[in-house]
Structure 1
C-alpha cells in the first residue's frame, strides 16, 4: 500500500499526459485492426508473450529458449504479415483536414451542377435496377486503382455515367473513379473487403465498395443490380438503403461547405416539393 501511495504522490502532470497519449495510441491501433485478420494475429502474439514469461518463471528453459528465439526473429515476420495494416495506419496518420473541407475547390455553381448530374445518374440507375459503383477520391490518391481501368478524364455528366454503367457495355462491371469535377477512370477493379464478419448476403459489388474504403479515405456509392437500393460505404462501414435526401446531403457535403451546402440542400428540397405538387 505504501508503494502505491508513493507512486501516486510522485505522479506529475507530464506523467499523466504521457500515459494518456500511450492509451490513446493503443486505442487507435485497436480500432484500426478491429474485426480484421490482424486482430486474431495480435491475440496470438500476446498469448505467446504470456507463455514465454510463464516458462521463464517456471524454469522451463527449453520452452523459454525456443519461444524467445521465435519472438526475436518474429519481428521481421510481423512486418511482413501486417504490411496492409501498417500501410493503412501510416496513411491514417498522414491524413489531414486542416487545409481542405471539401473535395472540390470550385465555385458553388460548378459544385451544384456536379451534384445534380450525380443525383440524376444515381436516381436513373436505381429506378432501372442497373448496378453502379462510384468511388470519390479524397486526400489519399487512387492512381493504382485507376490504372486497373480505362482513363477517362471527362466531365461528370449523367449521360456519360449512364453509358458507362449501361448493361453489357465494356466498362459496366467495374468502378468509376471520380476526382473533383472529373471522371478519372472507369472499369476499375477494387480490392474486396477483409472484414470476415460481413453478412454472407452482401454481394461482390458491396464488398468491393467496402474494400476500397478500408485502405483509403474515399467515399463509395453503390446501386444494387438486384433491388436498385442505393448504399454508401465510408471508413469500412456500409450504410444500406439510403434515401435521396441523405444522398444529396452527402454529396453536398463533399462538393460544398457551410452556407453553400445549406443553400444547395434548401433549393433541392424546394424543387422536390414543387414537383410533388405538380
Structure 2
C-alpha cells in the first residue's frame, strides 16, 4: 500500500472495531459459561469439523446431512434458547448485560454467605439434618442430574424448607451452583476411607466422598446433635461454632474469587501475547 494512501483514522477505526468485537464475544462466552449453551456450542463445533472433513474426504451424503443440520440448526437454536435470548435482551435494555463488576460479585457472595449461615444456624438449633454442597471450579453436573432440578435463587428460607423432615426433597443433598440452588435430593458418592469414625453417619460419609473427587465445599448439620461440620479437600472440620463456620465460608469464597480474578488476568495476558 502506498504511503500516500495510508489513513491513520481508518487504522484506529479498524483497531477499535476488532477490540469491540473481541470484547463482545468474550462477554458472551462469560455469560454462557457453566450453562447448557456451552454443550450446544461444543456440538456446533463438532458439526463444523465433521462437515469440513466430509468435504475433504469427498463424502457427499454426510456433507449434505451436515449442511442441512447447519441450515436448520440456527432456527432450532432460537427456539431452544428463546428464554435465554429474551432474558439477555431484557438485560441489554436495562444496561446490565455487561455490568458484572467486582463490587457486584462481592455483594452477591456476601448475600449467599449470609443466607447459608442463617439457614445452617436455624437448622442446627432445631437439629434438622442437612447436607449442602457448594460447587467451585470442579463441575457437579453429574450429581445435579441425580436430584430434582430447582434452579432457584439461593435464600435461607428455601434451604430451610427443603430440609424440613418428611418433605419430598429433604432426603439427599442440596447442590448450590453460583447464585442458585441447582437441585435437591441429590446423591453424593460415599467415602470408602477406613479412617472415618464409626460414629459418623451417611451425611458425613457423603460429604467426605464428594470432597475426595471434587473441590466443592460441603456443609453438614447433624440430625442427632445439631453439630455443624464442613468438608473440603478430603478434610472434615467438625463441631464448628457458627462464627467459625461463617469465617471459613468467607475465607473459601474469597479464595475462589481471587482464583477467578487471577485466571481472568492470566487469560487476558496470554491472549495479548499470543
Question: TM-score, normalised on structure 1?
Answer: 0.53
In structure 2, relative to structure 1, the CA distance for the partners of 1:210 and 1:106 (3 Å cut) is farther
> Shift of residue 228 of structure 1?
0.2
> Shift of residue 107 of structure 1?
2.6
Match for 2:106 among 105, 108, 126? 108
Match for 1:153 among 151, 168, 177? 151
**Length, aligned pairs only:** 157
Is the 8 Å Cα contact of residues 117 and 158 (structure 1) preserved in structure 2?
A: yes
- Measure the CA separation in 2 of the matches of 1:110 and 1:140: 20
> Shift of residue 105 of structure 1?
8.9
- Measure the CA separation in 2 of the matches of 1:183 and 1:106: 19
Alignment of 1:190-229 (within 5 A): 190-229=188-227
Match for 2:187 among 189, 192, 212? 189
- Measure the CA separation in 1 of the matches of 2:173 and 2:245: 18
Is the 8 Å Cα contact of residues 136 and 179 (structure 1) preserved in structure 2?
A: yes
Runs of 4+ in 1 over 6 A off after TM superposition: none
Partner-residue secondary structure (3-state), 1:240: strand
In structure 2, relative to structure 1, the CA distance for the partners of 1:255 and 1:234 (3 Å cut) is closer
Question: TM-score, normalised on structure 2?
Answer: 0.54
Partner-residue secondary structure (3-state), 1:213: helix
> Shift of residue 115 of structure 1?
1.2
Is the 8 Å Cα contact of residues 135 and 178 (structure 1) preserved in structure 2?
A: yes
Alignment of 1:48-67 (within 5 A): none
Report what 1:177 is aligned to. Answer: 175
CA deviation map 1:115-138 (0-9, x unaligned): 111111000000000000000111
- Measure the CA separation in 2 of the matches of 1:187 and 1:106: 30
- Measure the CA separation in 1 of the matches of 2:131 and 2:235: 16
Match for 2:161 among 160, 163, 169? 163
Q: Is the aligned partner of 1:236 residue 2:231?
A: no
In structure 2, relative to structure 1, the CA distance for the partners of 1:257 and 1:199 (3 Å cut) is closer
Is the 8 Å Cα contact of residues 112 and 255 (structure 1) preserved in structure 2?
A: no
CA deviation map 1:191-237 (0-9, x unaligned): 10010121111111100110011111111000000000000111111
> Shift of residue 257 of structure 1?
5.9
CA deviation map 1:235-257 (0-9, x unaligned): 11111101111111122124346
- Measure the CA separation in 2 of the matches of 1:125 and 1:133: 11
Is the 8 Å Cα contact of residues 119 and 248 (structure 1) preserved in structure 2?
A: yes
Q: Where does structure 1 lack aligned partners over 5 or more consecutive residues?
A: 1-103, 261-278
CA RMSD of aligned residues (A): 2.2
Greater relative CO (CA pairs within 8 A, separation 6+): 1
- Measure the CA separation in 2 of the matches of 1:142 and 1:120: 24
